[in-house]
Amino acid sequence: MRRPWVAGNWKMNGLHQTNDELLKGISSLAAESEIDICVAPPAPYWMQVVEALEGRGIKVLAQTVSEHASGAYTGEWSVGMLQDCGVSGALVGHSERRQLFAETDVVVAAKFAALKQAGLQPVLCVGETLEERQAGETLAVVSRQLLAVLESQGADAFDGAVLAYEPVWAIGTGLTATPEQAQAVHASLRAVVAAFDAVRAEQLRIVYGGSVKAANVAGLFAMADIDGALVGGASLIAQEFLAICQAARQRL
């Protein structure tokens, strides 16, 4: 049984005060041996969130990270800075980074490698646009995004990593993939990894993201290859995030 994994991606939302309120709202959450819970606040608030969650075992993630170690990269932050601030890992290849900040598969793979080298957790996000889905290219697109890491770093690079399937058309739109649509892609992604290493493929957590909320999460978590959720908008509402974590527990 793979440990369920749930993360809240706060994106570019929140200020000290609203973060405090949200953290108080989820203060009943504690880490457990059975499920992993993470939050990914904006970088200026890492320390606030790390301190507030201290001793609770809930991990803090960055929403992206530089592939470079240090130097003249204005506006960026490194894996060393994550470690220094108590941040456990980072999302890489989120579709907003790919689309709005022109991150290519090669750059995303380099960020993944930088996290692995530092012993931090990469959360690799893959997903197709609506046009790609309608053109029947879903599996080709998500496989290409995954293979950019697998072919350059091997299946062992996925030890401890998480793969997130996030159809671009479902992110922030209120349109969730049906459990069956998501399951079909998750199973295909697992098969891509299995072609490299069947054991690692079986162990890899593949989580779904895209308009996940308390009301639709149970159907998704009922699927054999959906091991958790990467939650955007609903993670900003304490009751929603609590309910999604609760549903992950019930998956066990």
Residues making contact with ligand PGA (CB under 6 A): 9, 166, 171-172, 209-212, 230-234
- Residue 124: name the closest of 137, 101, 102, 105 by CA: 105
Q: Which is nearer to ligand PGA, 108 or 201 (CB)?
A: 108
Residue type, 55: G
Task: Measure the CA–CA gap between 205 and 32, rounded to whole angstroms.
Answer: 17
Beta strands 205-209 and 162-165, pairing class: parallel
Q: Shortest gap between Cβ of 177 and ligand PGA (angstroms)?
A: 11
Q: Is 29 or 126 the residue whose CB approaches ligand PGA more closely? A: 126
Which residue, judged by CB position, is nearest to ligand PGA in the bound state?
232
Nearer to ligand PGA, 193 or 234 (CB): 234
Residue 116 and residue 157 in contact, taking contact as beta carbons nearer than 8 Å:
yes
Catalytic residue check, 166: yes
Burial class of residue 188 in the structure, from the number of CB atoms within 10 Å of its CB (0-12 exposed, 13-18 middle, 19+ buried) = middle
Q: How far is the CB of 39 from ligand PGA (least distance, A)?
A: 12
Q: Which of 96, 166, 186, 240 is catalytic?
A: 166
Identify whether the C-beta of residue 222 lies closer than 8 Å to the C-beta of residue 182. Answer: no
- Is residue 94 annotated as a catalytic residue, yes or no? yes
Q: Give the C-alpha distances (Å, rounded to integers) separating 227 from 46, 81, 186, 208, 247.
A: 26, 29, 9, 8, 11
Nearest approach, Cβ of residue 146 and ligand PGA (Å): 17
Cα(196)–Cα(98) distance, integer angstroms: 26
Q: Is the Cβ of residue 87 or residue 234 nearer to ligand PGA in the bound state?
A: 234
Closer Cβ to ligand PGA, 90 or 201, answer by number: 90
Q: How far is the CB of 172 from ligand PGA (least distance, A)?
A: 4
Choosing from 94, 103, 128, 132, the catalytic residue is 94
Nearest distance, CB of residue 80 and ligand PGA, angstroms:
25
Q: What are phi and psi of 208, to 5 degrees?
A: -105, 145
Q: Which residues on adjacent β-strands are paired with residue 125?
A: 164
**Which residues participate in catalysis according to the annotation?**
94, 166
